[in-house]
Amino acid sequence: MVSKQVNHSITIALAGQPNVGKSTVFNMLTGLNQHVGNWPGKTVEQKMGEFIHDEHNIRLVDLPGTYSLTANSVEERIARDFILDERPDVVILITNATELECNFYLLAELLMLPVPLVVGINMMDVANHHGIHIETHVLAAALGMQVVPLVASKNRGVHDLLEAAIHLAQTKDSFNPKRPEISAEHKRVLVDIQASLSGQVPAPYPIDWVAMKLLEGDSQVTELIQNDAPEAWEKIHAILLQHEDAYLDIASSRYEWIGRMIRAAVERPKAGVITITDRLDKVATHPFWGLLLLVGVFGVVFLLTYRLALPVVDWLGQGLVSPFATWLQHVLSGVPAWFSGLLIDGIINGAGTVLTFVPILIVFFAIMGVLEDIGYMARSAYVTDRYIHWMGLHGRSFLPLFLGFGCNVPAVMGSRIIEDRRARLLTIMLTPLVPCTGRLAVITFLAPALFGRQAALVTTSLVAFNLILLFITGIAIHHVVYKDEHIAFIMEMPLYHLPNVRTISLFVWRNTLAFIRKAGSIIVIVSAIVWLLSWLPYGDIQTSWLASVGHIFEPIGRWMGLGDWRLIVALLTSFVAKENTIATLGVLFGSHSSALGLAAQVAAILTIPAALAFMVVQMTFIPCAATVAVIKQETGSWKYAFHNLGLLAAISIISGIIVYQIAKLI
Amino acid sequence: MISLSDVKTGKSAIIKQLSGGKEFTNRVAALGFTLGTKITVLQNFGAGPVIIELRDSRIALGRGEARKVLVMVENGEQAG
This complex has an ipTM of: 0.89
Is B30's CB within 8 Å of A68's CB?
yes
Is A389's CB within 8 Å of B62's CB?
yes
Instruction: Give yes or no for residue A57 having a pLDDT over 50.
Output: yes
Residues from chain A contacting residue B58 (CB–CB below 8 Å)? 277, 492-495
Closest-CA residue of chain A to B47? A386
Instruction: Give yes or no for residue A5 having a pLDDT over 60.
Output: no
The C-alpha angle A38, A111, A259, rounded to 5 degrees, equals 115
Hey, what amino acid is at A639? K
Alpha-carbon distance B41 to nearest alpha carbon in chain A (angstroms)? 12
**Best interface-test mutation with A: which of B15, B19, B55, B74 has the largest number of A CBs within 10 A?**
B55
Instruction: State whether residue B17 sits within 8 Å of chain A by CB.
Output: no
Closest-CA residue of chain A to B34? A252
Is B22's CB within 8 Å of A217's CB?
yes
Q: For all residues of chain B together, what is the average pLDDT?
A: 87
Instruction: State whether residue B58 sits within 8 Å of chain A by CB.
Output: yes
pLDDT band for position A432 (cuts 50, 70, 90): very high
Q: What is the pLDDT of residue A538?
A: 82
CA distances for A104 relative to A109, A119, A125, A179, A640, angstroms: 9, 10, 19, 12, 38
Instruction: Give yes or no for residue B41 having a pLDDT over 90.
Output: yes
Instruction: Give yes or no for residue A3 having a pLDDT over 50.
Output: no
Q: For all residues of chain A together, what is the average pLDDT?
A: 87
Residues from chain B contacting residue A180 (CB–CB below 8 Å)? none
Q: What is the pLDDT of residues A61-114, one digit of tens each?
A: 999 999 999 877 888 899 999 999 999 999 999 999 998 999 999 999 999 998
Is B25's CB within 8 Å of A100's CB?
no
Residues from chain A contacting residue B65 (CB–CB below 8 Å)? 488-490
Cα–Cα distance, A9 to A281 (Å, whole number): 47
Strands A90-96, A117-122: pairing is parallel
Cα–Cα distance, A488 to B58 (Å, whole number): 17
Is A378's CB within 8 Å of B60's CB?
yes
Closest-CA residue of chain B to A107? B30
Is B29's CB within 8 Å of A495's CB?
no
Q: What is the pLDDT of residues A245-299, one digit of tens each?
A: 888 889 999 999 999 999 889 988 776 667 788 889 989 999 899 999 988 887 8
Give the mean pLDDT of A186-198. 90
Q: What is the pLDDT of residue A601?
A: 83
Residue A596: other Cβ atoms inside 10 A: 12
Alpha-carbon distance A407 to nearest alpha carbon in chain B (angstroms)? 30
pLDDT band for position A591 (cuts 50, 70, 90): low
Give the mean pLDDT of A629-650. 91
Residue A271: other Cβ atoms inside 10 A: 10
β-strand partners of A15: A93
Instruction: Give yes or no for residue A165 having a pLDDT over 50.
Output: yes
Is A271's CB within 8 Å of B79's CB?
yes
Select, from the ranges A185-194, A353-362, A583-592, the one with the highest average predicted confidence (pLDDT): A185-194
Q: What is the pLDDT of residue A400?
A: 85
The 3-state DSSP class for residue B72 equals: strand
> What φ, ψ does residue A219 adopt, rounded to 5°?
-65, -40
Is B60's CB within 8 Å of A491's CB?
yes
Instruction: Give yes or no for residue A123 having a pLDDT over 70.
Output: yes
> What φ, ψ does residue A93 adopt, rounded to 5°?
-100, 120
Q: Is the peptide bond before A204 cis (omega within 30 degrees of 0)?
A: yes
Cα–Cα distance, A621 to A648 (Å, whole number): 6
Residues from chain A contacting residue B22 (CB–CB below 8 Å)? 217, 247
User: Global pTM?
Assistant: 0.81
Instruction: Give yes or no for residue A20 having a pLDDT over 70.
Output: yes
Give the mean pLDDT of A15-37. 86
Instruction: Give yes or no for residue A44 having a pLDDT over 80.
Output: no
- Listed in sequence order, the residues at least 6 apart from A452 whose beta carbon sits closer than 8 Å to its beta carbon are none
Q: Nearest to residue A149, comparing CAs of A260, A265, A35? A: A265
- Give the H/E segment covering residue A310: helix A310-315
Is A272's CB within 8 Å of B79's CB?
yes
Q: What is the pLDDT of residues A321-375, one digit of tens each?
A: 888 888 888 888 888 888 888 888 888 877 887 888 788 888 888 888 898 889 8
Range name among A51-60, A290-299, A311-320 with the lowest pLDDT average: A311-320
Is residue A484 within 8 Å of B64, Cβ to Cβ?
no
Select from A101, A105, A251 the Cβ nearest to the Cβ of B56: A101
Is residue A523 within 8 Å of A625, Cβ to Cβ?
yes
pLDDT band for position A595 (cuts 50, 70, 90): low
Alpha-carbon distance A249 to nearest alpha carbon in chain B (angstroms)? 8
Instruction: State whether residue B46 sits within 8 Å of chain A by CB.
Output: no
Q: What is the pLDDT of residue A4?
A: 47
Instruction: Give yes or no for residue A511 having a pLDDT over 50.
Output: yes
Cα–Cα distance, A47 to A60 (Å, whole number): 8
Alpha-carbon distance B21 to nearest alpha carbon in chain A (angstroms)? 11
Is A493's CB within 8 Å of B59's CB?
yes
Strands A90-96, A133-134: pairing is unpaired
Instruction: Give yes or no for residue A500 having a pLDDT over 90.
Output: no
Q: What is the pLDDT of residue A87?
A: 92
Q: Which stretches does DSSP call E strand in A494-549?
A: none
Instruction: State whether residue B40 sits within 8 Å of chain A by CB.
Output: no
Is residue A584 within 8 Å of A569, Cβ to Cβ?
yes
pLDDT band for position A484 (cuts 50, 70, 90): confident
pLDDT band for position A594 (cuts 50, 70, 90): low
Closest-CA residue of chain A to B46? A287
Select from B28, B45, B61 the Cβ nearest to the Cβ of A287: B45
Instruction: State whether residue B55 sits within 8 Å of chain A by CB.
Output: yes
Cα–Cα distance, A162 to A59 (Å, whole number): 12
Counting DSSP H helices and E strands in chain B, the numbers are: 2, 6
Alpha-carbon distance B1 to nearest alpha carbon in chain A (angstroms)? 19
Provide the CA A433 distance to its chain's centre, in angstroms.
Answer: 18
Is A382's CB within 8 Å of B31's CB?
no
**Best interface-test mutation with B: which of A253, A289, A493 has the largest number of B CBs within 10 A?**
A493
Residue A168: other Cβ atoms inside 10 A: 22
Cα–Cα distance, A343 to A532 (Å, whole number): 10
Instruction: Give yes or no for residue B78 having a pLDDT over 70.
Output: no
Cα–Cα distance, A42 to A79 (Å, whole number): 12
Provide the CA A584 distance to its chain's centre, in angstroms.
Answer: 34
Give the mean pLDDT of A311-319. 84
Is residue A100 within 8 Å of A125, Cβ to Cβ?
no
User: What percentage of residues in chain A have a pLDDT greater than 70?
Assistant: 97
Is residue A585 within 8 Å of A598, Cβ to Cβ?
yes
Instruction: Give yes or no for residue B77 having a pLDDT over 60.
Output: no
Instruction: State whether residue B10 sits within 8 Å of chain A by CB.
Output: no
First to last CA, chain B: 24
Residues from chain B contacting residue A494 (CB–CB below 8 Å)? 58
If one compares A580 and A412, the residue with the highest pLDDT of the two is A412
If one compares B10 and A272, the residue with the highest pLDDT of the two is B10
β-strand partners of A572: none
